[in-house]
Every structure is written in structure tokens, then in C-alpha cells.
Amino acid sequence: MIIEFDDKCWTRLDEDWKRSLIELLVPLVSCEQHFIHATIDSMVAWCSENLPLYVDYFKTRLATAQHRINSLNILISPDGAATVDQNPPWSLTALAARKLVVRPLRLVFENDNSDQAFVTSVVTSFATWCQRGWIAPDMGGGAAMERDIETSAADPAARWRTFYMFDSDRLHPSELSIDWRPPNGDGCQGFRFEVACAAMPQTRWHRLNRRSIENYLPQVVLDAVDVSATSVLFGSSVGSMANHYNLKRGLAGDGVLPQDPGKVVRASRSQGFWNALPPEESSVLERGFGRDISNQFTNVPKGHGWPLDVVAEMDALAVALQDAM
């Protein structure tokens, strides 16, 4: 967030205001994910009298502040609101702002363990952000996430201090188009999450580009589980459709192979791709890698070289998280 101090902050003389301002400024020393904007001379003069130990610190903090256009901007003023009860822009008292400043960004994953392990392995600063208390990972998979999104969307503060990351649950690249809707007779949980997130700021959620988190597991890890299936999945016949393969339950899980009369609509969503593979290849992909395959993120080698599309996606996620923090 960007914390901007109105010049009135430094001229208000009553002791209650001074105390509340000190109670905001001191936590800002450890909450360095936020940028501070203020008239330097006025703030330094006030700190020299009221917080002399932090004068040099805040001089440096002000001099190095950035302008992030997608970050939430909060104006601190003695005339500001005492509570957050509406959408930004916000003008708040020091006491009201303190509650937001010390509140970490709540990052809600579908699966806390595997999702967090993946993001940690790709976004180099993520572990540090968590250790410093700037981000608080949380789990909200399944129907619980949909309800969680609705609850956050109804709370003005939570709307901006919560970030959601979830699977796309798309079975074919064409389903990533903006106008795609799940066909009658089959559901798409990722799509439902997107619909719920329409009530959230657009910068506070990320739908994965691949079908699910396990579709990001690298070949070197999957080789240790099933080298035959991995060889086919990463071969030229499958190509980018590997990103939409049912890694847990295989082609059987989608009713493709063997054909399942109860999953005809779901099987059709892959547009015949898997059926067109040579039988010796499709048969290897029939059973999948198992329901617990996402636990294999703990075995991703340190410093693994991720594909360029994954790096680009996670770089964008890292920027979004920095803006949201």
C-alpha cells in the first residue's frame, strides 16, 4: 500500500492525535512493504521532536518511496474517517490506518501446501514476504473458497487485503477465452471462482493459466513417479495439451479412456484430442499420477529452470502481490 500523510498530520497539536500518529509510524518501520509519501521537511521536523530515533530512517524511507499505480493509496489525516466502511479512495485517521498497515495480505490458495510450495519455488521473494509477516497464506479450496470470496467482497477492507489464486480447471486451451462458459451437463469450479471474483478488485485474484497446480510439476519430478507416462506427456504428440491433462486421475478421470457414459460432456471438452493420440500413448495416460501428486512440489530441485511461460505468469503474479501488499 501507499501511505500518504496530509500536511495536517504534522500541525495538529493535541496529544491524542500525536499518540495515534506515533502508534502508526512505529509499526511502519517493520512493515516495509508499504511506501510512505509525505512532505519531507514537515515529517522530519515532527519526527525530530516526537520520534528522534527514527529521523534518519524516515528520511531514507521517504527518499526511496516508489509510485505503484496499482497499489492502494491511503491518505492519513486528522479529518479522516475512523473506520473503513466504503470502497477507496480512503482518507483515514492514524488509528484507523494502523489496523490496515499491520494487517498482512491474506493470500488464499486452493491447496495451502502444494500451491504455496509451487509459488515459493518460482517467486524468489515469496518466502521472505511470508517470514516478515507481509503475506499470510491461507487455504480455501472447493466450495469454501467460493463462500470466502463472497465474504471478502462484502467487506471493504477485506476486498483490498485479500488475494485469491485458483486453478483454471480448463480442459482445453480454447476454454481460456474470455467468452467461454461451461457446457450444460458439466461444471467448472475455476469458472465459478472467476464469477465470484467479479465482485473483487480485478487486481486481487489470479486464475492459473494451466488446468491445475499439479500441471506445473516439472518433468524431472514426474519422471520419478511414472517415467512412461511422463515421457508421453512431455512428448511432441501431446505438446501444450499437457497443461490441461488430468494429472491426478488421467484420461479415465475425464471419461475419455475408457469411455464413461456418465461423463460424455466432460470427455467432449477436450475436443477429441486425447482420442486422436496413438493407442500406445493414450493408454499410458489412462490412469494419471495419483490423487496426491501435488505433494511432489516438495521435490522440485532448488534453482529449477522453469519454462518461459511459467516464469512470465509467476512474474506477473509477483508484481500483483507486491501491489496488493
Q: Read off the pLDDT of residues 43-52 as tens digits, 9 standing for 90 and up.
A: 999 999 999 9
Residue 48, pLDDT score: 97
DSSP track, 109-138: ESSHHHHHHHHHHHSTTHHHHHHTTSEEEE
**φ and ψ of 127, to 5 deg:** -60, -40
Residue 112, pLDDT score: 67
**From CA 95, how far away is CA 321, in angstroms rounded?**
25
Q: Return the DSSP state at 257.
A: T
- Average pLDDT for the chain: 95
Angle (nearest 5°) at CA 51 between 65 and 37: 20
Question: Model's pTM, two decimal places?
Answer: 0.94
Q: Read off the pLDDT of residues 179-203 as tens digits, 9 standing for 90 and up.
A: 999 999 898 999 999 999 999 999 9
Count Cβ atoms below 10 Å from residue 194 Cβ, excluding itself: 17
Q: Read off the pLDDT of residues 53-69 as tens digits, 9 standing for 90 and up.
A: 999 999 999 999 888 88
pLDDT greater than 80 at residue 228: yes
Q: Read off the pLDDT of residues 114-132 as tens digits, 9 standing for 90 and up.
A: 899 899 989 989 999 999 9
**φ and ψ of 54, to 5 deg:** -110, 10
Q: Strands of 90-92's sheet, edge to edge?
A: 35-37, 2-5, 73-81, 90-92
Residue 69, pLDDT score: 83
Of 231, 218, 208, the closest CA to residue 121 belongs to 218
Q: Give residue 290's identity as a one-letter amino acid code.
A: G
pLDDT greater than 70 at residue 239: yes
Q: Which residues contact 191 (CB under 8 A, 6 or more apart)?
A: 169, 180, 181, 182
